[in-house]
């Protein structure tokens, strides 16, 4: 049932990192109710759910936050919730009347999560932006790429999801634990620029120790090293090598037939890396990816084939761990991490906006007359 069973979360609908945090909390067993804008409610067949992986595991209610009745309804819901989170620009929730002060006045124990790119204050706080901008300012994008080439955006994994939604979910759970001890809620200010900077902590340490070169693509972990990179195979696919430790590196050389080659003995001589990369690349290009799978199978080379999104769920290791599931006809990652007792289970697909409005309100004790009046006024949809 998941370790967060019994926790009620209100999610003011947004995009990207907010829904990702909502998915994480729902995957862990929290009851997450997504509050969609009334204007976005278009109906929809429950038997044909949206193919929105990040929207799985929660119910949706359509509310007009700009109406007095809608705002009051949200605050009524806050009274029985443990968490509410939003992804608006700074000040928007306050203007709608559902900011931290209003919510905590209704429920002093509420954890109020805020998800933004730049944070609640600072020169950029009110500026528009996307993942690529947040990780740029955080110093996370500049090091990513090959030598002599421009930085390469790592999808929107580092800002939106790693530095954003995951940090929001972590902050919410931390605040929930503290609230149980203190009896008081608090605001969680999760900013993607902060999270992305935190993810770079390891490399700031390397730089301080003098073992990180600011020139892109010339370090051990940024495609500079011949033993830590991806290589193209003869069938135009790729394999990954990560043979950092000496014993793993020795096994790599043995598998490649290079154990007696003096050029490879000085593993960490950076001056030799470009030439050694070319030589390994030529060897890898001589066989298919499947053939290299056979060569490296069961070894400690630190090897894996580079799989596509369609291939990954079919790999034997993924199948053995049930790493992917299917919900509503959509193949998607299973909940993570795993627990020995309170096993997370993702069962329901994303909901259409407002699909559960009446059911949710009834479960919260709102009587049918008030539901009818709210619908008549346009406060709910």
pTM for the model stands at: 0.95
Going from the C-alpha of 354 to that of each of 27, 79, 351, 378, 381, the distances in angstroms are 21, 21, 8, 13, 6
What's the whole-number average pLDDT of the chain?
97
Q: Are residues 182 and 299 in the same domain?
A: no
d(CA 104, CA 187): 10
CATH number assigned to the domain comprising residue 98: 3.40.50.10540
Q: Kindly state the average pLDDT of the residues 46-58.
A: 95
d(CA 282, CA 284): 6
Burial annotation 66-80 (CB, 10 A radius, 16+ → b, else e): ebebbbebbbbbbee
Range of the domain at 282: 228-232+238-305
Domain contains 217: no
Q: Are residues 103 and 188 in the same domain?
A: yes
Domain contains 367: yes
Give the model confidence (pLDDT) of 237-265 as tens digits.
999 999 999 999 999 999 999 999 999 99
d(CA 225, CA 221): 7
Percentage with pLDDT > 90 across the chain: 98
Give the model confidence (pLDDT) of 167-196 as tens digits.
999 999 999 999 999 999 999 999 999 999
Domain contains 65: yes
d(CA 354, CA 144): 41
Domain contains 213: no
The two three-digit tokens of residue 171, written as one number:
């902050």
Q: Are residues 282 and 328 in the same domain?
A: no
Give the model confidence (pLDDT) of 321-341 as tens digits.
999 999 999 999 999 999 999
Q: Are residues 359 and 278 in the same domain?
A: no
What is the pLDDT confidence band of residue 43, given thresholds at 50, 70 and 90?
confident
Q: Are residues 166 and 135 in the same domain?
A: yes
Let me know if 64 is a catalytic residue. Answer: no
Catalytic position from the list 64, 82, 131, 160 = 160
Domain count, the chain: 2
Q: Is 29 helix (H, G, I), strand (E, B) or coil?
A: coil
To 10 degrees, the CA torsion angle through 41, 45, 51, 54? 50
pLDDT at 162 over 90: yes
CATH number assigned to the domain comprising residue 273: 3.30.1540.10
Q: Is 303 helix (H, G, I), strand (E, B) or coil?
A: strand
Q: Are residues 286 and 346 in the same domain?
A: no
Q: Are residues 55 and 82 in the same domain?
A: yes
CA 245 distance to own-chain centroid: 29
- Cα-flanking dihedrals φ and ψ of residue 79, to 5°? -60, -30
Q: Are residues 58 and 168 in the same domain?
A: yes
The two three-digit tokens of residue 9, written as one number:
């979360």
Name every residue whose Cβ is closer than 8 Å to that of residue 347 and which is 6 or more positions away in sequence: 57, 327
Domain contains 205: no
Q: Are residues 45 and 165 in the same domain?
A: yes
Packed helices 166-182 and 192-199: angle between N→C axes, nearest 10 degrees: 100
What is the pLDDT confidence band of residue 347, given thresholds at 50, 70 and 90?
confident
* DSSP bridge partners of 88: none
Domain contains 222: no
Let me know if 160 is a catalytic residue. Answer: yes
Q: Is 84 exposed, middle or buried (0-12, 13-18, 19+ CB in 10 A)?
A: buried
Catalytic position from the list 52, 76, 130, 293 = 130
Q: Are residues 141 and 289 in the same domain?
A: no
The two three-digit tokens of residue 289, written as one number:
């990816």
Q: Are residues 169 and 57 in the same domain?
A: yes
Domain contains 242: yes
Q: Is 35 helix (H, G, I), strand (E, B) or coil?
A: strand
Helix (H) or strand (E) holding 69: helix 68-78
Q: Are residues 175 and 126 in the same domain?
A: yes
Do the Cβ atoms of 34 and 11 come closer than 8 Å?
Answer: yes
Length, in residues, of the chain: 381
Domain contains 219: no
Q: Is 310 exposed, middle or buried (0-12, 13-18, 19+ CB in 10 A)?
A: exposed
Of 248, 277, 305, the last residue of a domain is 305
């Amino acid at each position: 049932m998941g370790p967060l069973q019994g926790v009620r979360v209100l999610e003011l609908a947004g995009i990207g990192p907010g829904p990702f945090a909502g998915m994480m909390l729902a995957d862990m067993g929290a009851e997450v109710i997504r509050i969609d804008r009334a204007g976005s409610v278009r109906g929809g067949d429950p038997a044909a759910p949206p193919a929105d992986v990040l929207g799985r595991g929660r119910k949706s209610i359509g509310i007009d936050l700009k109406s007095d009745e809608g705002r009051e309804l949200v605050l009524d819901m806050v009274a029985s919730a443990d968490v509410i989170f939003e992804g608006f620009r700074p000040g928007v929730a306050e203007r709608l009347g559902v900011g931290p002060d209003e919510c905590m006045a209704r429920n002093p124990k509420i954890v109020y999560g805020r998800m933004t790119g730049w944070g609640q204050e600072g020169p950029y706080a009110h500026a528009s932006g996307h993942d690529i901008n947040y990780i740029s300012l955080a110093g996370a994008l500049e090091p990513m790429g090959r030598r002599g080439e421009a930085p390469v955006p790592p999808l929107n994994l580092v800002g939106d999801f790693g530095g954003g939604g995951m940090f929001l979910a972590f902050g919410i759970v931390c605040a929930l634990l503290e609230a149980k001890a203190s009896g008081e809620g608090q605001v969680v200010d999760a900013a993607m620029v902060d999270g992305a900077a935190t993810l770079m902590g390891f490399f700031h340490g390397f730089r301080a120790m003098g073992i990180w070169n600011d020139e892109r693509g010339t370090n051990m972990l940024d495609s500079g090293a011949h033993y830590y990179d991806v290589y193209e195979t003869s069938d135009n696919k790729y394999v990954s090598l990560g043979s950092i430790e000496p014993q793993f590196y020795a096994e790599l050389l043995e598998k490649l037939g290079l154990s007696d080659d003096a050029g490879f003995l000085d593993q960490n001589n950076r001056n030799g890396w470009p030439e050694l990369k070319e030589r390994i690349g030529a060897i890898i290009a001589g066989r298919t990816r499947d053939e290299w799978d056979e060569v490296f199978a069961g070894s400690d080379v630190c090897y894996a084939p580079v799989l596509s999104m369609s291939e990954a769920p079919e790999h034997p290791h993924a199948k053995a761990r049930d790493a992917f599931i299917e919900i509503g006809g959509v193949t998607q990652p299973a909940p993570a991490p795993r627990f020995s007792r309170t096993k997370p289970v993702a069962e329901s697909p994303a909901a259409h906006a407002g699909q559960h409005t009446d059911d949710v309100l009834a479960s919260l004790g709102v009587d049918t007359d008030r539901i009818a009046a709210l619908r008549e006024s346009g406060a709910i949809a």
